[in-house]
A and B are shown apart, each in its own frame.
Chain A
Amino acid sequence: MSLVNFTAREIACKIVYYGPGRSGKTTNLHYVYDRVPDSRRGQMVSLATQTDRTLFFDFLPIDLGQISGFSTRFQLYTVPGQVYYNATRRLVLQGADGVVFVADSQAQQLDENLESLQNLQSNLLEHGVDVRSLPLVMQYNKQDLPRELILAPADLDDALNFRGVPSFGADALHGAGVFETLKGISELVLKRLAAGSPA
C-alpha cells in the first residue's frame, strides 16, 4: 500500500465504500462521478445486475491533478453489499487507504448495518489490518426519508459508531453529504500521510 510515492511524486488513495446492500454506496459514487469534470475522471466501471445491484464492484478513478507538485489520484471503490459476495468484498478491501461505511439510516436496517460493520472488521483482520488503525468515516445515508422511518444521526452514532469516527448524515441520491463524506475520509487518509511519512 504505497499512498505516496515521493520519487514519482504521486499520491494515490484507495477509498472503499463499504456497507450493507442497498445502503447507497454506488449512489455516492455516481454523485461524485457526475460532479467530476470529464477531464479528471476515468471511466466508472460498474458491474451490476439487471436489477442494478452491484455484483462485483464499482470503481471510479479521479485525477486531482498536481497538488503541491504531486500527481494526485483517488480511486473510489464500492463493494457488493449482499452477504454472499464476501470474497469480493475482501478482495476490494485489500490495500484500502480508507473506508467509508455507508449505513442505511432506516431503523429496520440497523441489524444489517451492524452485521456489515462486523463483516468489515473481520475482513480487515484477514488482511492483517486493525480496524482501529485504518481511516474510517461513517455515512448515515437516506436521511431524507421520513423521520418515522429513520434513525437520527445521533442515534446511529450510538448504535454504530463505537470508535467515535467522523460521521456524516447524507442523502446520496441528491448529493447532500456526499462530498462532505469524501472530504472527511480524504482528510483522515491524507493526515496519515503526514504521520506516515518519516516523522
Chain B
Amino acid sequence: MTSALNPRYTFENFVVGAANRLAATAGRTVAENPGSAYNPLFVYSGPGLGKTHLLMGVGHTAKQLTPGLNIEYLTLDEWVEAFHAAVAAGQGDAFRRRFQNVDVLLVDDVQFLSNRKEMQSELLRLTEALQVAGRQIVLTSDRPPAEIGDLDARLISRLSGGLVVDIGAPDYETRVAILRRKAEERGASFRPGVLEAVADAPLTNVRELMGAVNRLMAHQAVNDSPIDGEAAKRLLGIGAAAPPGAPSAAVGRGGAGVSPPSPPAVDEFGAFLADVAVTVGRAVEAWRTRVAEEILRWEGEGYRTHRLEALLDQNSPAAVDEAIAAFVRDVERLKVLELEVAQLDPAVAGQSVFRDPERIRDAEEEAARVRAGAAPPPAPSPAFPLSAYAVGPSNQVAVSAVRAVLERPGKKYSPLVLVGHSGCGKTHLLNALGLELAHANGAIVACLSTQAFIDELIAAIDANRVDWWRARYRRVTALLLDDVHLVAGKERTQEELFNLFNLLQDRERQLVFTAPAPPNTLAGIEERIASRLEGGLVVELKAPDRDVKRAVVERILTQQDLAPEPPLLDYLADRPADSVRSLVAAAQRVMSAAGAQDVPVTVGLAREVLEGTSPQEEGGAEDGRERRGGGRAGPRTSGVVVSSLGSIKSREKTVWDWPDVPDRLIEDFR
C-alpha cells in the first residue's frame, strides 16, 4: 500500500539549479527539522521536473538524521485506495490512527484530489491532526493548491498555510549537469558534445532528457561505437544546427586504450566551454546557495533576514561568510536577550525587536531597560547569619533540616516549613538559611515576609505589572516566606503563591516557609496550599531550652564587649523565657541598667533589674510608679531607665540603627 522510498532518489543526486533551488532548500530544511520549519510543504511543478525525487529525498534525509522517525511515502491514489480498502474492511478508524502516527507524511500527486470530496475532507482532517501533533507533511502536485479543481476552500488554505514552492524547468547548465549525473548513474559514457547536444534539445522535462539519453545509449550499444554530438542531434530529431559531420580525421596508428579522435566538425572547444561554464557556475554561485539556505533557515525560526537578503544583491561573495557568521552571532545574542527578558518581564520578550538582528542595539537597550526595572527580589537579611544561631535540643531538628536543605537545595526538603511560636527563632533561621543558599553560584534567593509579598503583589496589580512581578519571583532559585499564615483570606495572593509554588517545585527550586502552627491547622489557608506545605517537611521550633538560652545570652553580652561571668549566664539561662526574643529583652535591660549606672554586669545587678529591686527605683518616680503599678516580675517591666538629667537612656527603647523609613520599628510601651 505504501510505496517504499526509492534509494536512488536522494538529495545527494538531486541536481540543483536556479529553477529548483528554493524547493530543494525548503525540502532539506523540512527534512532536517520535521514539523517545525514549513508545515505543510507544498511543492508543485510540471511533470518530470523532480517532485517525486525531492519528496523521497526529504524522506531519506529525515530518516538518515533521525532513524527512529516513522516516515510514509505514498501517492494520493495509493492513499485513496488504502482508505477505500480500510473502509470496506470496517477499519476506517484504524486507517486514520495509522496515518496520525506518522512523523513525516509524504504524499505525491495530490492534484488527483479534484472532485473527491470525501478524500478532501479526510485529508483536511489528517493534515489538521498531524499539524497539531507537530508532524511533518510534504505534498506535491502539478499545480498550486488553489488551481486544483473543485478543492475545498478550507483545504486550499490549509495546504497553502506552510510553504508553497514551485520547480521550474531546468536551465541549460542544469540540464547538462543532470544528463551527466544520469549518464554516470547508468555507467554510460558519451563523446564530448553529445550531452550538450541533448541539453540543447527543446526537451523541457527531466524525464524526456532521460529518454533521450536512453536512446543514445541504445544506439551506441547497437553500433558499438561512440556517437558524436551531431549524430546525437540527428538521432533525436533535433534540428540539425550544422551539416553532418565532416569526415573524421583518420587515426593512423590504430592504437588501443584511447577512443578514436573526434572529427574536426565536433566543436571540442565548445563542449569544453560548456563544461567549464557549468563548473564555474556551480563554484562561483555556491555562495548564493549558502545565503539562500541561511535565509530560509532563519526565516523559519522567525527572524528578520533583510541583511542576508541584501547579500544576494551583491556581485561577489566578498565577506559573505563573515556576514552570515555575524548574522548568526547577532541572532544568538538576540536569543540570549530574549530568554533573559522573558524571565524578567514576559510581556516585553514578545517584542519584534528581539527577532530583528538589524536592531540588536535596540534589543540590548530594551533588555537593559528591563534589567534595570527588574529589581532583584528581597534578599535575606545579613543580620541573621547561621553562625550566630544558637542550637540546642529545642531546635536541633529544625537546624539539621536546614543543613540538609543546604546540602541539596530544592531536592531534599522542599518545601521546608518551620513552625513555632513567635520569638523562638524562625525568622533568624529562615534568613540564615537564605544567606547560606545565596552563597551558591548564580543563586537568586527571595527572602521576605509574607506581608511584604502581599504588598508587592497589590502594588503590581495597581501598576498593571503583575507579569513583571511574577517573572521576578519565577526566576528565583529559592523562595523563603516568613509568616506564611498571613496569606489567610488573601485569595489573589494564595492564587499567585499556589502557581509560583508549583512552578518553583517543578524546577526543583527550594521553598521555605515559616508559620506559627502546622499548615493544616492554619485558618483561612486554602486546602491546596496547606496540603502542599504539609507535603514537604514541617519541623517545629520549641521554646528555647537552657542551652539555647545560655548561648544566646553569652552571644549578646559578648557582642557588647562584656566578659560575662558564668553565674550570670546561668542565672539568665535559668530564668523562664518562652521565646528568644523575651530573653534578649531581659539581657538588654540588664546591660542598659549597667550602662546607666556605669557598673559591671553582674548576676547581682541582673537580679536587681529583673526581679524588681532596681537601684534606680527612687531615681525616677514615674518609672518606679509604673513598675510598682505593674507589680509584676522583672521580665514584664519596660526597663526604662531615667537618668538624672531626665532623658530616657534605655537600650531597649532606643533605636540605634535606623532602618529605611517604611521599615522603622515602633515598639509599643507596655
User: A: which residues have CB within 8 A of B?
Assistant: 4, 6-7, 9, 11, 32, 35-37, 40, 64-65, 67-70, 72, 140, 142-147, 150, 152-153, 169-171, 174-180, 182-183, 186-187, 190-191, 193-194, 197-199
Main secondary structure of the interface of A (DSSP, over half): mixed
- New contact pairs (17) apart from A72-B280, A186-B279, CB-CB < 8 Å: A35-B267, A67-B281, A68-B285, A70-B280, A144-B252, A144-B254, A147-B256, A150-B255, A152-B257, A153-B257, A175-B249, A179-B268, A179-B271, A183-B272, A183-B276, A186-B272, A186-B275
CB distance from A139 to the nearest CB of B (A): 10
Please measure, in the bound complex, the distance between the C-alpha atom of A178 and the C-alpha atom of B260, giving whole angstroms. Answer: 12
Contacts of A140 in B (CB 8 A): 257
Q: Is the CB of B276 within 8 A of A72?
A: yes
Closest 4 CB pairs of A and B: A6-B316, A144-B255, A194-B283, A144-B253
* B618 touches A (CB below 8 Å): no
With A64-B273, A67-B277: A144-B282 Cβ-Cβ less than 8 Å: no
CB distance from A11 to the nearest CB of B (A): 7
With A183-B272, A198-B322: A176-B315 Cβ-Cβ less than 8 Å: no
Q: Is the CB of B258 within 8 A of A6?
A: no
Contacts of B463 in A (CB 8 A): none
CB distance from A145 to the nearest CB of B (A): 6
CB distance from A81 to the nearest CB of B (A): 21
Please measure, in the bound complex, the distance between the C-alpha atom of A179 and the C-alpha atom of B276, giving whole angstroms. Answer: 12
CB distance from B102 to the nearest CB of A (A): 37
Please measure, in the bound complex, the distance between the C-alpha atom of A186 and the C-alpha atom of B269, giving whole angstroms. Answer: 13
Please measure, in the bound complex, the distance between the C-alpha atom of A64 and the C-alpha atom of B274, giving whole angstroms. Answer: 10
Please measure, in the bound complex, the distance between the C-alpha atom of A180 and the C-alpha atom of B262, giving whole angstroms. Answer: 11
CB distance from A112 to the nearest CB of B (A): 20
CB distance from B178 to the nearest CB of A (A): 17
CB distance from B478 to the nearest CB of A (A): 49
CB distance from B307 to the nearest CB of A (A): 17
Contacts of B254 in A (CB 8 A): 144
Q: Is the CB of A143 within 8 A of B256?
A: yes
Q: Is the CB of B281 within 8 A of A177?
A: no
Number of interface residues, chain B, beta carbon within 8 A:
40
Q: Is the CB of A193 within 8 A of B284?
A: yes
CB distance from A116 to the nearest CB of B (A): 21
Q: Is the CB of A197 within 8 A of B276?
A: no
Contacts of B286 in A (CB 8 A): 194, 197, 199
A-B contact list, 6 entries, CB within 8 Å? A9-B315, A40-B269, A67-B280, A174-B261, A179-B271, A197-B286
Q: Is the CB of A145 within 8 A of B258?
A: no
Q: Is the CB of B318 within 8 A of A175?
A: no
Contacts of B262 in A (CB 8 A): 175-176
* B317 touches A (CB below 8 Å): yes
Hey, what's the 0/1 contact readout for B224-268 against A, CB within 8 Å counting as 1? 000000000000000000000000010111111111111000011
With A143-B257, A175-B262: A6-B315 Cβ-Cβ less than 8 Å: yes
Contacts of A11 in B (CB 8 A): 280, 284
With A152-B257, A171-B258: A186-B316 Cβ-Cβ less than 8 Å: no
With A64-B273, A197-B317: A146-B279 Cβ-Cβ less than 8 Å: no
Please measure, in the bound complex, the distance between the C-alpha atom of A21 and the C-alpha atom of B432, giving whole angstroms. Answer: 92
Q: Is the CB of B321 within 8 A of A198?
A: yes
Q: Is the CB of B271 within 8 A of A190?
A: no
CB distance from A37 to the nearest CB of B (A): 7
Q: Is the CB of B253 within 8 A of A6?
A: no
Which residue from chain B places its CB closest to the CB of A5 in the assembled complex? Answer: B316
CB distance from A179 to the nearest CB of B (A): 5
Contacts of A37 in B (CB 8 A): 269
Please measure, in the bound complex, the distance between the C-alpha atom of A146 and the C-alpha atom of B272, giving whole angstroms. Answer: 29
Among candidates B282, B315, B318, B321, residue contacting A194 with C-beta atoms closer than 8 Å: B282
Please measure, in the bound complex, the distance between the C-alpha atom of A177 and the C-alpha atom of B262, giving whole angstroms. Answer: 9
Contacts of B192 in A (CB 8 A): 179-180, 183
* B500 touches A (CB below 8 Å): no
